[in-house]
Structure 1
Amino acid sequence: MKHYFRIFVVLSVAAMVIFTMKLRTNQVLLLSEPTVLRPTEHLTSTSRPFYGHASLKGNGSFFIPGNNIFFSLNHTFSLDGSNICKDKDPYMVIFILSLHDKTTQRTAIRQTWGSVAKTSRWPGTMFTKTIKIVFLFGIHQNAVLNEIVRAESDVHGDIVQANFMDTYSNLTLKVLMGIKWMSIYCPSTKFVTKTDEDSFIVLPKLLHKLESKTMDNTILGPFFLSDIVFRSGKYEVGRKVYPLSRYPPHCKGNLYVMPTRLATKIAAVSNHFQYMRMEDVFITGILAKVFDARHISLNESEYYKYKSATICELSTGSKILSQGIDAKTQYKIWNTLLEPILCS
């Protein structure tokens, strides 16, 4: 009898130890967002047809994340935007990369296409989706500019600032920290979108395109199947960072949209690769390749890759997106949406 009692005690202690370990593990997972999967749990499929330039076909091992950590995502938020998604789970969160001194540009976005975040209205349409816009920042070396952004955040409540230096080289980090923010403060959003402050997005047309497609493990945006890797100049990428001669399929940074689950998985494995400052290639190409993500392109009737669309093409035509839109033009496009007769 004593023998069985000892066995019972040992098993009870073991069960308690296992339960405690699981509890601690779960606490760690909750505290280290975004943590959805381990690096070895990549989802690259060998059963689907090969996707990309032929030169990538024998280099699939590059797109399998290892155990090394190459850069940190453990930055805190000095402006956490914790109220942005507090009232209602949005259909889409749009991250807008902005520079500290571009106050006029941000104001124009808030009063034109970005106004749907407050009003849920779009001229001439029955707009029903809840959209949130988030202006992303790092820390500027000029303290005055940081204070301008902080004051702007107090007024509008649509700014997120993470504690790393806001530089051109850190654009990739800025987007990844945006996804981390989303996983903490807005995890129930269906889609994550990234754009730039000089873009104009015709949101009803974008949402219509999204809803007409199957967006499971898919990224939508201006698409490039295969770009050459430059080893010098503005877009230089060293062989240590990316040794292959061609990039995988990817979307350009003017606009890309992906399901929240895919965005969170991408952020979770991102720092297991060498850091690349070309955020669109890195996020929608290299990291997307880890999960065998596919892409849906905006065609030329919806977006010009190398020039800006006209006011009427955006307000009454078929264009979904344009780049190179300054604050003054943002207002002109919006006014034409309000008065379509201006383009008749």
Structure 2
Amino acid sequence: MRYWGNYVRYRTKEAFVVAAVFFSSACLLQMFHVPPLTSNETNGQSHSRIKIRSIDDDVTDDDVILKFEKPVNVADPKPTPVKVRGLQNLPKEFRVNLKEERALFKYRIEPDRVVGANGLLNTRRMQGHTWSGPYMSGAVVYLVASNIQHIDRRSLLRETWGSIRDLEGRKIELVFIIGTNNGRQSGIMTSDIVTENSVHGDILQFVGDDHLATNVRLAALQWAGNSLPGDFYVALTDDDVIVNIPYVMDYVTAESPPVVPPASVIMTSIEGGGSIVSSQSQRMFCLDGYEESEVTKRDGHDSVNMSVYSSMKYPPYCPGDLVIMPVSVAQDISQVARVTQPSLPPHLHQVFITGILRRKLNRGDDNIVAAGRQGGYCIKYHPSKVTDAKILWQGWYDGMRHRHHIYSMSAIR
């Protein structure tokens, strides 16, 4: 009997505990119960009467913060945009590779100031593969698209911004890209170009027509990719452009400060797998304008026929007169150009090189950057206003006089 009495008391106590738990749960549910909305309030959508707030919002004394997950069937009014990726977003006429690679450019003359016995590359070899040595802390080679007849323009650039050879340890070299014009008579003899290069050491002459803007730049990028170290920078510009050297060099320094491998490396992912490991970012910098989604023109100036370019918009590209990139990127672009039909008109060379070929690398559009300071990096001058160009450069140079720099003897001072 004593056993059964203890058993009954234990079960009775357990029943009271269970009843108390159910009663407490019912009270809590009643406190937080939200009656359903009527049909005229819902309008066919799912809502909540409780105002969802973030802990970062301003809170008043009357506010009650309740953390609720957003209903899964409520669409986000601002969906996260997907970054436009590379190869699959190009028109078919550029997405498909040529069956055979186009021939490499050949060169008649190369710049002694870069490849000669006392040139830039020899200075780099003396220092070793590092930017921490005594000779240089970086290098930018400016590839200037010129014409075999533009002797006066080349002279002006050598007297102005092209006269700066070193700015606070960063080496600067100017290389003019001209063609042989396929034997077409231009009034300038081959011996004249050889003499010009022997005096200044800054001519790169390729076998081809320098009136075709696309070929001039592709020849320059191929030479840079095959001749310069991968951690050098190259800049594409024209012989009627005055470059603000201190602004540009400061920008390059800020974007890619000198590092000592392997203390610092940057990995760039490639779509579809793989990566590039380098001491610098594999990006292209637009220092004279940036177009993110320009509509393809079908009539008027700069128009393109549907059979040539079928997409409604161009990929992001640099439309201006100054583009900077690491040599490694220049090499990649020149290689992919050999399997891509250059069917765009020559006046759209920026679209082809910095837009189509860049995107064809299949690394997305994160590898093209608009400079933070739009304007001020360079000015395009009219060839008839040489005096104005000299005055402009003089003002820029006066702003950098206090900084350590080296200039050539032909410089205007």
2:315, 2:356 within 8 Å by CA — same for their partners in 1? yes
Give the letter aligned to residue 88 of structure 1. T
Matches within 5 A, 1:84-233: 85-89=120-124, 91-117=139-165, 120-121=166-167, 127-140=168-181, 141-147=184-190, 148-167=192-211, 170-213=212-255, 216-221=281-286, 222-233=289-300
> After the TM superposition, which segments of 4 or more aligned residues of structure 1 sit over 6 Å from their partners?
none
Q: Deviations over 1:121-150 (max 9, x none)?
A: 5xxxxx320111110011232253243333
Distance (Å, rounded) in 1 between the aligned partners of 2:225 and 2:393: 32
Cα deviation digits, residues 84-127 of structure 1 (max 9, x gap): 5443346111111112222122111111111123xx25xxxxx3
Q: Does 1:68 align with 2:133?
A: no
- Could you give the per-residue CA deviations for residues 19-53 of structure 1, whole angstroms, max 9, x where no partner exists? xxxxxxxxxxxxxxxxxxxxxxxxxxxxx94238x
CA spacing shift, 1:92–1:339, aligned 2, 3 Å: closer
Determine the structure 2 residue equivalent to 1:268. 335
Give the 5 Å matches for 1:257-296. 257-275=324-342, 276=344, 277=346, 278-291=348-361, 292-293=364-365, 294-296=367-369
Structure 1 partner of 2:109: 79
Are residue 320 (structure 1) and residue 320 (structure 2) matched? Answer: no
| CA distance in structure 2 between the partners assigned to 1:205 and 1:50 by the alignment | 30
Q: 1:51 aligns to what?
A: 84
Alpha-carbon offset, residue 325 of structure 1: 5.3
Distance change >3 Å, CA 166–CA 58, structure 1 → 2: closer
Indicate if the aligned counterparts of 1:77 and 1:161 stay in contact, CA closer than 8 A.
yes
Per-residue deviation, 1:153: 1.4
**Which secondary structure does the structure 1 equivalent of 2:218 belong to?**
helix
Structure 1, residues 49-75: CA drift from partner, whole Å, max 9, x if none?
A: 4238xxx997357464524247x3423
User: Is the contact between residue 97 and residue 196 of structure 1 (CA under 8 Å) also seen in structure 2?
Assistant: yes
CA contact (8 A) 1:302 1:321 kept: no
1:267-301 CA distance string (max 9 Å, x none): 111132221322111111011112324322135x5
Is contact 2:225–2:330 with CA below 8 Å preserved after alignment?
no
CA distance in 2, matches of 1:234, 1:80: 36
TM-score, scaled to structure 1 = 0.68
> Which protein has the bigger helix share?
1
Contact 2:291 2:318 in 1 (8 A): yes
For residue 229 of structure 1, give the secondary structure of its aligned residue in structure 2. coil
Q: Percent of pairs identical after alignment?
A: 22
Letter in 2 for 1:328: T
- Whether the 8 Å contact between 2:107 and 2:205 is mirrored in structure 1 is yes
**Gap change, CA 1:69 and 1:173, over 3 Å in 2:** farther
Deviation at 1:161, TM superposition (A): 0.8
Higher relative contact order (CA 8 A, sep 6+): 1
Distance 2:105 2:369 in 1: 32
Using a 3 Å threshold, how does the CA distance of structure 1 residues 197 and 186 change in structure 2: closer, same or farther? Answer: same
Please tell me whether the aligned partners of residues 96 and 196 of structure 1 are also in contact (alpha carbons under 8 angstroms): yes
For the aligned residue pairs, the C-alpha RMSD in angstroms reads 2.8
**Which residue of structure 1 lines up, in the alignment, with residue 370 of structure 2?**
297
Deviation of the 1:247 alpha carbon: 0.3
- Taking the aligned partners of 1:226 and 1:87, their CA distance within structure 2 comes to 43
Q: Note the residue ranges of structure 1 that are not aligned, 5 or more in a row.
A: 1-47, 122-126, 304-318
What secondary structure, in the 3-state scheme, does the structure 1 residue paired with 2:296 have?
Answer: coil
Segment drifting more, 323-332 vs 257-266: 323-332
Instruction: Determine the C-alpha separation between the residues in 1 that align with 2:88 and 2:228.
Output: 39
Unaligned runs of 5+ in 2: 1-80, 125-137, 257-279, 400-413
Instruction: Give the whole-Å Cα distance in 1 for the aligned partners of 2:382 and 2:250.
Output: 22
Q: In structure 1, what residue type is equivalent to 2:158?
A: R
Q: Aligned pairs, how many?
A: 264
Check the 8 A contact 2:108/2:205 in 1, yes or no. Answer: yes
Helix, strand or coil at the partner of 1:210: helix
On the 8 A contact 1:196/1:253 being kept in 2, the answer is no
**1:329 matches 2:379:** no
Q: Distance in 1 between matches of 2:331 and 2:208?
A: 20
Normalising by the residue count of structure 2, what TM-score does the alignment of the two structures yield? 0.58
SS of 1:165 mapped into structure 2: coil
Retained in 1: the 8 A contact 2:141–2:172? yes
The verdict on how the C-alpha distance between 1:85 and 1:49 changes in structure 2, with shifts beyond 3 A counting, is: farther
Q: Is the 8 A contact 2:146 2:210 kept in 1?
A: no
For residues 225-270 of structure 1, give each alpha carbon's deviation from its aligned partner in whole angstroms, at most 9, with x where no partner exists: 1222223445233333321121000002401011111111111111
